[in-house]
Every structure is written in C-alpha cells, then in structure tokens.
Amino acid sequence: MKPLSVAIIGAGSWGSALSIVLNSNGHTVHLWMRSSKQLQEIKTTGKNQKYLKDVTIPDTIKLSNDLKATIKDKAVVLLSVPTQSVREVLKKIKPWLRKDQLVINVAKGLETQTKLRISEIIKQELGEQPCVVLSGPSHAEEASRGMPTTVVSTSKDKKWAEFVQDLFSNDYFRVYTNPDIVGVELGGSLKNVIAFGAGISDGLGYGDNAKAALMTRGIREIARLGEAMGAEISTFSGLSGIGDLIVTCTSMHSRNRRAGILIGQGKSFEETLEEVGMVVEGIKTTESAYELSKFYNIEMPITEQIYDVIYKGVEPKEAVIQLMSRRKKNEMEEIAEGREIDW
C-alpha cells in the first residue's frame, strides 16, 4: 500500500500504540490529544508516560491539539476515544469530514444510554460514511513495542475491511478480516465485563480453576446474547471472541482485570478508578449488557452478579456464592443450543 495520511483522534494507550504501528508502516500520522500538557510532555520527552510507560513516540508522528487541522484532508480518521465520548467527538468532526474519508473505530463498548454499538452510532451521526471496526486481543503495551499482535478488521463493506487489513499489516501486526460486524463489536465489548469479574476473582484470592470457569461460562453468555442480537455464533470462537477474552482476563495490562482485582481486594470504586487512572470500559458495559440480557430474555448469570456488585453494592464473595449455588445443569443443554440430548 502506498503511504497515506492518517488522523488519530485520542492519544491514550491504544491510540498512541496504533500511531506507532502506522508510522512504522510508512504512513504520515497526525495524533490529536485534548490535553496541551500531554502534548508538551510528548514533544519534550518523547514519551506518553501515563498511557505507554517508557515507550518512545517517534518524532515523525505529528502531534496536535487542533481537531479540525488534524482531520482535514486526511485519507483515514481513526477514533480512539472512550466509548461514551464517541458521539460527542463525531458531532464535532462531522462538519469537517469529507464523504470519502474512512472512519475507523478501535474503542470497545456499548453506549450506555442507547445500548448501541459504535458502528451504529457512527451510522446515526455520519450517515453513509465509510466505516471499519478494528478489534481483537491486543494490548497497547505490547503492540507499541513491536510484539506479535493479531486483530480483526470488520465492515459492512468488504473492500474497506480489506483496505484496513493492508493499512495496518506488517511483520508483527497481523490483521484478519471478518464480515460479522455485530459479533466482532459485541465480542470486544462484552469481554470487558467478564474480565472485570476475573479480576474480582483474583482479588478475592481464588485460583486458576475459578478463572477458567469464568472465562468458559463467560464466552457462552457473550455468544448467547450476541446470537440474539444477530451475530454469527462462530465469531465468538475467533480472535474478537475467545481470543480477546483470554488476553483481557489473564493480563495485568488489562485495566478491566486490574480494576476487578482492586474491588476484590476491598477497595472502593473511587479508589479503584483513581489507581487504574484510565477509563475502565467494563463498568459501563456491564450496565448495558445486563439491560440487554433482560430485553432479549437471555440468561447471563455472571453478568448479573457483576452488575449486582457494581450497581447494587453486593459483596464480591456473596456474588460468587450465588453463582456456585445456582440450579444444577447439564452443560450440553447450552452447548447443543437447546436441542434435546439423548442420554
């Protein structure tokens, strides 16, 4: 692919990491951040310490606080802002976008008020603007250091998914395409809920047995809701499903898991969010997932217990007891998708 000009909106950990990936691919990267203090720090030290500790931001990446100048006439506009800020940012940039500019979203979550996926928000705000979602098991701390990383590009339009595959792919950053935009977005969003629960389990001092159960039963919950919402069930066996769930439930790079650990250790939510220091998408997504499960009449016991811990003040240990003492079941009832099992 010939070099292109790319605007990245948001200089958090993932936006900064992707700016490094695209810069290494020879593209001209314009990185926008809201904070002038952050901009000065990167210009002065070459580091974005709060979000990417000890990672050098190449001086060939162009930094800016000017949103209009950042996106004007760029071939690609990549959104790397918290889910709950996406609509606000879209409203701001809409007057300056050309209809042929591709918008890529890399945030993972559901809008709390509407329960919409981010591609749906983009459709509402920008109409037929070309749109791609990039998701999958990818910690910024590793991708920014050139460690092997594999993600998924999805869009309603195959040509744009493949365009983004070419834009990002190199010898350490591999991109697959997937036509199931609903499944990819839901997998990337809902795994944060289960990862928060896995962190709580770790914070309580439980072991690998408990985490394996949470992850295995958690992906079933995600798949059940996803299928009800129109996703392909096979997507949840892929990178944006079980792949993203594994990496988020097991790594200390995961802010959702770290937040859960602190809650499990008895910290308040205020103390937890202050210590993590970044947006914990799983907290808001838990509310959305819980409400969607009620709307679609889908059984999601892990999500329900995590919701009770966050929003009803239930003690984490009590939530675990509730999960462990549920009605006895045959695992194949669900794996066989409700079909009668001859046994």
Return the active site residues: 191
**Six token digits for residue 125:** 């705000």
C-beta pairs of 91-97 under 8 Å, 24+ apart in sequence: 91/125, 92/67, 93/9, 93/67, 94/125, 94/126, 96/67, 96/68, 96/71, 96/72, 97/71, 97/126, 97/129
* 3-class state of residue 338 by DSSP: coil
Bridge partner residues of 221 (DSSP): none
Q: Per-residue b/e over 239-276, b at no fewer than 16 CB within 10 Å?
A: bbbbbbbbbbbbeeebbbbbbbbbbbbebeeeebbeee
Nearest to 12 by CA among 57, 59, 43: 57
Pair 189, 109: CB distance under 8 Å = yes
What dihedral do alpha carbons 31, 37, 38, 41 form, nearest 10°?
Answer: 110
CA–CA gap between residue 236 and residue 180 (Å, rounded): 10
CA–CA gap between residue 260 and residue 285 (Å, rounded): 14
Classify strands 62-64 and 47-48 as parallel, antiparallel or unpaired. Answer: unpaired
Beta strands in 269-311 (DSSP E): none
CA–CA gap between residue 106 and residue 18 (Å, rounded): 10
In 174-280, which residue ranges form alpha helices assigned H by DSSP?
181-203, 208-228, 244-250, 255-264, 269-276
> What's the angle, vertex CA 74, arms to CA 69 and CA 77, rounded to 5?
90
